[in-house]
Amino acid sequence: MKVVIVGTNHAGIHAANTILDNTDDEVVMIDRNSNLSYLGCGTALWVGRQIDGYEGLFYTKREDFEAKGARILMETAVDSIDFDKKIVHAVTKDGQAIEESYDKLVLATGSKPIAPNLPGKDLEGIHFLKLFQEGQAVDQDMAREEVKTVAVLGAGYIGVEIAEAAARRGKKVILLDAMDTSLSNYYDPEFATLMDENLRAHGIQTQFGEMAQGYEGEGRVEALVTDKGRYEVDMVINAIGFGPNNDLGKDHLELFTNGAYLVNRRQQTSDPDVYAVGDCATVYSNALQDTAYIALASNAVRSGLVAGFNLAGQDVEHVGVQGSNGISIFEQKLVSTGYSVKSAARFGLDVDYVDFEDKQKYPFMPEDENAPVKIRIVFEKGSRRIVGAQLASTYDMSATIHMFSLAIQQKVTIDTLKLTDFFFLPHFNQAHNYITMAALQAK
Ligand X SMILES: Cc1cc2nc3c(=O)[nH]c(=O)nc-3n(C[C@H](O)[C@H](O)[C@H](O)COP(=O)(O)OP(=O)(O)OC[C@H]3O[C@@H](n4cnc5c(N)ncnc54)[C@H](O)[C@@H]3O)c2cc1C
Q: Which residues bind ligand NAI (CB under 6 A)?
A: 41, 116, 153-159, 161, 176-179, 184-185, 211-212, 239-242, 295-296, 325, 327
What residues between 259 and 298 interact with ligand X by CB under 6 A? Answer: 278-279, 295-298
Which member of 10, 14, 127, 318 is catalytic? 10
Taking CB within 5 to 8 Å according to partner kind, which of ligand X, ligand NAI, none is near residue 241? ligand NAI
Taking CB within 5 to 8 Å according to partner kind, which of ligand X, ligand NAI, none is near residue 48? none
CB–CB of 438/375 below 8 Å?
Answer: yes
Nearer to ligand NAI, 326 or 411 (CB): 326
- CA distance readout (Å), 165 to 29, 192, 236: 34, 19, 14
Q: How far is the CB of 245 from ligand X (least distance, A)?
A: 5
Residue 10 is among the residues annotated as catalytic for this protein = yes
Q: Which of 88, 108, 195, 391 binds ligand X (CB under 6 A)?
A: 108
Nearer to ligand X, 238 or 436 (CB): 238
Nearer to ligand X, 43 or 226 (CB): 43
Q: Which of 81, 221, 263, 300 binds ligand X (CB under 6 A)?
A: 300
- Is 210 a binding residue for ligand X by CB under 6 A? The answer is no
Mapping DSSP onto H, E and C, the string for the chain reads CEEEEECCCHHHHHHHHHHHHHCCCEEEEECCCCCCCECHHHHHHHHCCCCCCCHHHECCCHHHHHHCCCEEECCCEEEEEECCCCEEEEECCCCCEEEEECCEEEECCCEEECCCCCCCCCCECEECCCCHHHHHHHHHHHCCCCCCEEEEECCCHHHHHHHHHHHHCCCEEEEEECCCCCCCCCCCHHHHHHHHHHHHHCCCEEEECCCEEEEEEECEEEEEEECCCEEECCEEEECCCEEECCCCCCCCCCECCCCCECCCCCCECCCCCEEECHHHECEEECCCCEEECCCCHHHHHHHHHHHHHHHCCCCCCCCCECCCEEEEECCEEEEEEECCHHHHHHCCCCEEEEEEEEECCCCCCCHHHCCEEEEEEEEECCCCEEEEEEEEECCCCCCHHHHHHHHHHCCCEHHHHHCCCCCCCCCCCCCCCHHHHHHHCCC
Residue nearest ligand NAI, CB atom distance: 156
Residues 216-255 vs ligand X: string with x where CB under 6 A? Answer: -----------------------------x--x-------
Q: How far is the CB of 238 from ligand NAI (least distance, A)?
A: 8
Taking CB within 5 to 8 Å according to partner kind, which of ligand X, ligand NAI, none is near residue 116? ligand NAI
- Is 308 a binding residue for ligand X by CB under 6 A? The answer is no
Nearer to ligand NAI, 40 or 102 (CB): 40
Residue 41 is among the residues annotated as catalytic for this protein = yes
What residues between 110 and 149 interact with ligand X by CB under 6 A? Answer: 110-111, 129-130
Which member of 14, 41, 89, 318 is catalytic? 41
Q: How far is the CB of 107 from ligand X (least distance, A)?
A: 9
Nearer to ligand X, 298 or 394 (CB): 298
From the list 29-37, 174-182, 249-257, 368-376, the region that binds ligand X by CB under 6 A is 29-37
- Is 164 a binding residue for ligand X by CB under 6 A? The answer is no
- Is 10 a binding residue for ligand X by CB under 6 A? The answer is yes
Active site residues: 10, 41
